Amino acid sequence: MENKGCELCNQKPVFTEGFDGWGFVKEYDQNENGIKVAEGGWTACYIGPDENGRIGCWGCGDGNTEIYYFNYCPNCGRKLKDD
């Protein structure tokens, strides 16, 4: 039976429309697209999609860390990356 995924690995990127002074553009906010899975002090850890829909995790404090991309969903185990 194929694993259909869960709340974490079925996330899709969401873009908002903004105005950049020249026209309307699609904007992507990394932290708005992720689910906060842990936090403490001035930091948080998110899991969510990047602009291309790949699921990963990143830390957020004064800025964001690079995204670590999963091969498998850490919650349900669904395979996320093709070989």
Spans of all domains in the chain? 35-83
Between CA 36 and CA 44 the distance in angstroms is: 7
pLDDT of residue 65: 94
Alpha carbon distances (Å) from 47 to 1, 28, 43, 55, 65: 25, 15, 14, 7, 12
pLDDT of residue 58: 96
pLDDT tens track, the chain, 83 positions: 567 889 999 999 999 888 878 888 888 888 899 999 999 999 999 999 999 999 999 999 998 999 999 999 999 999 998 76
pLDDT of residue 17: 87
pLDDT of residue 74: 93
Tell me, letter by letter, the H, E, C secondary structure of 42-67: CEEEEEEECCCCCEEEEEECCCECCC
pLDDT of residue 82: 74
